[in-house]
Chain A
Amino acid sequence: MKKSSPLVLTLVVAGVLSGYAQERADLFEKNRFFEAELSLAKIPGTYMIIDIGERTVSLKARGQVLRKWTIARTRSWGKSVPLKVFKMEKKSALSQPERPNITPGKEDQKTTDKEKKDSSDLGVLELKDMPVHFSLHFGQNVHISVKPRTKRFWPTLLNVGKTISWHTILPLKTLWFALRKKSFTEIELVMPSEKDAQAIYWSFLDGHSTLIFQPSR
């Protein structure tokens, strides 16, 4: 019993030190996150915060939340995203929503005529027209793909395809980028509903300032 005491003591000390170091690392990460957000909040306009640890996507302005979405599930491949402000470069989807064209003078396109029309067919671009599967590209090989939890047949089929690609193409992509010594990050966000995924697509604008917080634990 006496012989094992130094070993137990060493383990306890090591445990305490490791806990202390981890606490400091977590606080330091949070510290850098606050500093980065503060730099964004000082600028007029809206910005996005994708908090992988808290599983939320927030649309903010001046430090206040305008809209918040909960992420149902998230996973990632590649390097952790550096804590810095990214600009959303572009959105990509299998079928991008198309803006309707107004033909000058055509009767049923005037607002007065739209008032009389069946409300399901107004020839306008609305939330329901947004894709539910899409990717957000941030430069420096940081990509975020978004998909919904759904029970509908086609989106479910697409989800299965994405899952297969997640376990085959992405590991190989990780290898490819590692061999070329290039940075690469792919994060997948699974939204609780199709409407949430569509709202994310709607709200992210090209050039939108975004902070991706991916805590190390």
Chain B
Amino acid sequence: MTKMRGWPLALIVLAGLLVGCELIGYGIEIFGWSRKPAGETGRTAAIKSPKELQSQNASLAGRLKALATRGLFIVVDTAENRLYVMNGEKVQKEVVVSCGSGDILEETGGKRKWIFDTPRGEFSVTSKLVNPTWIKPDWAFIEEGEKPPANFNERIDNDSLGAYALGFGDGFFIHGTLYTRLLGRNVTHGCVRVGDKDLEEVFHWVPIGAKIYIY
């Protein structure tokens, strides 16, 4: 018999180890340790018949469906930079937008810090503004390397938000933009920027109180 040396032997040992590990794992799963989680035996199953369970499942599915948002609502996909106006399960309109950049701004001296994310979760349209005015917050000046002004009038900006804005709380808006070339990219300070023509349509469709889901 010829002696096996080097690679062939190493490969056989490795294969043996692999098979050994795999067998140990499967052995435990099959013989020593049930795949069923503890306490997950069919309590109700023992009492209810398949017919009863079927009707209960249909009722639960109905209750789940009844929770769905009625009327028009907005869905914002921050990863793809898309805004959808939904009517039930139907997409009424799909719009390319710009969402939060995820950038961090830290004030010199490290006193304050801002993270420019678009907030995610469930919101509602809280305000609808025509020709909105942006009251520039402190970060807008700090980002530019300027000191936030004490005079309120110096914070007023009548151009940046476009012709319409839908507020959804905490100073966040779905608004128009001057920077249309950046639509489709994550470049904002947290607001959702929409092209003016698309926003006009969305603005007129969606009422105050309409749900906004952002993910």
Binding site for B on A (CB under 8 A): 20, 23-25, 27-28, 30-31, 34-35, 37-38, 41-42, 44-46, 59, 61-64, 66-67, 77-83, 99-102, 104-106, 109-112, 114-115, 119, 122-127, 164, 167-168, 170-172, 174-175, 178, 183, 198-199, 202-203, 205, 216
Which residues of chain B from 130 to 163 have any CB-CB distance to chain A below 8 Å in the complex? 142-146
A27 and B50 within 8 A (CB): yes
Task: Establish whether residues B45 and A25, one from each chain, have CB atoms under 8 Å apart when the complex forms.
Answer: yes
Per CB-CB distance, the 9 closest pairs between chain A and chain B, nearest first, are: A105-B145, A171-B25, A125-B102, A34-B60, A28-B45, A27-B53, A124-B101, A63-B64, A82-B37
Q: A41-B67, A104-B108 are in contact. Are A171 and B102 (CB under 8 A)?
A: no
Contact of A168 among B21, B38, B108 (CB under 8 A): B21
Within the assembled complex, what's the spacing in Å between the Cα atoms of A199 and B49? 41
The smallest beta-carbon distance between B30 and chain A, in angstroms, is 11
- Taking CB atoms and an 8 Å cut-off, the chain B residues in 184-200 that contact chain A are 185-188
A101 to B142, CA, bound (A): 13
Question: What total of chain B residues lie within 8 Å of the partner, measured CB to CB?
Answer: 69
Q: Is the CB of A63 within 8 A of B65?
A: yes
Asked if B77 lies at the interface with its beta carbon under 8 angstroms from chain A, I say: yes
CB–CB A35/B182 < 8 A = no
Cα A123 to Cα B171 in complex, Å, equals: 24
| Interface membership of B75, Cβ < 8 A | yes
Q: Judge whether B201 is part of the interface by a CB distance below 8 angstroms.
A: no
Min C-beta distance of B150 to chain A, whole Å: 19
The segment from B5-13, B114-122, B202-210 that touches chain A is B114-122
In the docked arrangement, what's the CA distance between A42 and B67, Å? 7
| With contact pairs A30-B57, A64-B68 given, residues A175 and B104 touching in the complex (Cβ less than 8 Å) | no
Pick from A64, A115, A125, A172: contact of B101, CB below 8 A: A125
The interface residues of chain B lying within 8 Å CB-to-CB of A123 are: 103
Interface residues, chain B, CB within 8 Å of chain A?
Answer: 17-18, 21-26, 28-29, 32-40, 42, 44-45, 48-50, 53-54, 56-57, 60-61, 63-65, 67-69, 75, 77-80, 89, 101-108, 115, 120-122, 142-146, 179, 181-182, 185-188, 213, 215
**Do A172 and B179 form a contact, CB below 8 Å, given A38-B64, A41-B64, A110-B143?**
no
Docked pose: A64 CA to B90 CA in angstroms: 12
Please state if A83 and B40 are interface contacts (CB–CB under 8 Å): yes
Cβ contact of A81, chosen from B37, B53, B54, B80, cutoff 8 A: B37
With A31-B56, A45-B121, A67-B77 known as contacts, the answer to whether A80 contacts B21 (CB < 8 A) is no
Min distance, Cβ B196 to any Cβ of chain A, angstroms: 16
Contacting residues, chain B, for A30 (C-beta < 8 A): 53, 57
A62 in complex: contacting residue of B68, B182, B185, CB < 8 Å: B68
| Cβ contact within 8 Å between B21 and A216 | no
**Which B residue's beta carbon lies closest to that of A48?**
B215
- Asked if residues B187 and A124 are in contact (CB atoms below 8 Å), the reply is yes
27 residue pairs of the A-B complex, CB under 8 angstroms, read: A24-B49, A28-B45, A28-B53, A30-B57, A38-B60, A41-B64, A42-B67, A46-B122, A62-B67, A63-B67, A64-B89, A67-B77, A82-B39, A99-B102, A102-B105, A106-B145, A109-B103, A114-B179, A114-B187, A115-B179, A167-B18, A168-B18, A171-B28, A175-B25, A199-B79, A202-B78, A216-B36
| Contact A64 B69, CB 8 Å, known A80-B35, A104-B107 | yes
B144 → A minimal CB distance (Å): 6
A46 touches B120 (CB 8 A): yes
B121, closest chain A residue (CB): A45
In Å, the complex CA distance between A83 and B64 comes to 17
With A25-B45, A168-B17 known as contacts, the answer to whether A66 contacts B75 (CB < 8 A) is yes
What's the minimum C-beta distance from B188 to chain A, rounded to whole angstroms? 8
Closest approach, in angstroms, between the C-beta of B82 and any C-beta of chain A? 10
Cβ contact of B50, chosen from A24, A64, A109, A174, cutoff 8 A:
A24
- A127 engages B143 (CB within 8 Å): no
Are the C-beta atoms of B103 and A61 separated by less than 8 Å? no
